Structure 1
């Protein structure tokens, strides 16, 4: 019985602290959005948080800040981090221009992302990237190591193998995708435009198989 008052005080204290934390997070929960003219195109971005550690989010193929990083924009610690999501040129709300896939499209995205952060006033920052965004983050860190604090990538590859080519061809026709996988992209681009853009991406990523060892960025990784 003697433990109850102490337990009650601890419960009340915890509720008070949780309420304070929730209120603090709410104050930092707003998302600023806008466009910056970078390297000849207008890039759409979303920024949230007031922390001293800036983080740039690199979305995957055909992805955008909202489709690929909605949970991160909402849930990453806004007291410690300033989180910036963006739509690479030709993707999402960074259109026009229409997306194309020249041999240097990863390097182009890397420079766009870095220059966007510099235009937003960040001198050093960290990177989170998945899939194509992971590749772009690797390249960005290799090209601009003096600007990058930390980096997390997942689902990325540094080369394209013959097995990869078979996988790319297997998913070339989006009609074979599940409705759940198609829906967000069709909502963003329209069904016909999405199908055409995806075929262009498959051709774009497949071109690396013609390079020595299928390299996308192997020479940059050291």
Structure 2
């Protein structure tokens, strides 16, 4: 069982944002905040400007690549990851409705007393981050999106392969490579094995897996278009002054990067980076480079 520290919501906010940070993923502990009748499990690595990362579909604490988290923390950021309500070690009602998931982010940020936050998200977590920007943009300094989708109609939909692979229970290297990397490229397969081994080797146990049958029932078993039907959020992206970075891959089987490029000229603050011969986890294939580019983006728009 992961070591835990329960922190009451009445604790000093400033102390929460600094004293609950570990120096590395290897040393990280799972902590809790109690808010609105549930406990939210989270981990915090590093010190500095806070970056709150919203997880992917079926993602739980311990499934971020520690090389990526540590590389971000080394850039003098406090990197916070968490389990959504009812998922992993968090209690409450579970849901993959992004609107409901935004409440988890909001409650966690308030409970930890975080200010001037970088909101980030991977995959479905990137949808959550975009909605958070639309709702609480005045409190967000930057947005970092990892292999996610923009709102609205897609010029290139997902591949059926993702839905078939995402319905497989547990975590195994072959499926991990299929979903998150580029199986047809030797370098990407090697990066997948290295990332998988880093994740599995972590001393702090990961949160319990998300049940595959429940998870796939929430998103369906075939591609949808649009995935994220929100004119309101798209209009915010078209008018915001908040800097936005998207790091994607040239072959993402669930959220093709082509959908972001189709919005060229419409999103005034969007920065796009695309990694070659990679898949749905570009920041796991290139953890140090992704962290360095994220830091440069944040510092460049300080």
Instruction: Say yes or no: TM over 0.5.
Output: yes
* C-alpha contact 1:48 1:78 (8 A) present in aligned 2: no
Query: Max radius of gyration: which structure?
Result: 1
Once the two structures are superposed, what CA deviation does each residue of 1:190-222 show, in whole Å capped at 9, x if it has no partner? 6xx73312322333997x75xxx6643342132
- Residue 181 of structure 1 corresponds to which residue in structure 2? 175
1:45 aligned residue (42, 47, 71): 42
Give the whole-Å Cα distance in 1 for the aligned partners of 2:152 and 2:164. 18
Higher percent of residues as helix: 1
Q: Unpaired runs of 5+ in structure 2? A: 1-21, 177-195, 201-205, 237-302
Give the whole-Å Cα distance in 2 for the aligned partners of 1:169 and 1:33. 30
Normalising by structure 1, report the TM-score. Answer: 0.66
Give the whole-Å Cα distance in 2 for the aligned partners of 1:87 and 1:144. 21
Instruction: Kindly indicate whether residue 216 of structure 2 is the aligned counterpart of residue 199 of structure 1.
Output: yes
Q: Structure 1's 77 and 170: CA in aligned 2 closer, same or farther, altered over 3 A? A: closer
- Residue 216 of structure 1 corresponds to which residue in structure 2? 229
- Residue 152 of structure 1 corresponds to which residue in structure 2? 144
* TM-superposed deviation, 1:47: 1.0
- Residue 287 of structure 2 corresponds to which residue in structure 1? none
List 4+ stretches of structure 1 deviating above 6 A.
182-185
- Residue 54 of structure 2 corresponds to which residue in structure 1? 58
- Residue 100 of structure 1 corresponds to which residue in structure 2? 95
The equivalences for 1:160-171 within 5 A come to: 163-164=157-158, 166=160, 169-171=163-165
Give the whole-Å Cα distance in 2 for the aligned partners of 1:205 and 1:108. 23
2:32 aligned residue (35, 38, 48): 35
Once the two structures are superposed, what CA deviation does each residue of 1:137-191 show, in whole Å capped at 9, x if it has no partner? 111111100110111102111247694484565446427x965436989x8546x
- Residue 279 of structure 2 corresponds to which residue in structure 1? none
Give the whole-Å Cα distance in 2 for the aligned partners of 1:83 and 1:171. 29
Q: Secondary structure at the match of 1:144?
A: helix
Normalising by structure 2, report the TM-score. Answer: 0.51
* TM-superposed deviation, 1:78: 4.5
Give the whole-Å Cα distance in 2 for the aligned partners of 1:86 and 1:197. 20
Q: Secondary structure at the match of 1:116?
A: helix
Q: Which has the higher contact order (CA 8 A, sep 6+)?
A: 2
* TM-superposed deviation, 1:121: 1.1
- Residue 131 of structure 1 corresponds to which residue in structure 2? 123
Deviates more, 1:68-77 or 1:141-150: 68-77
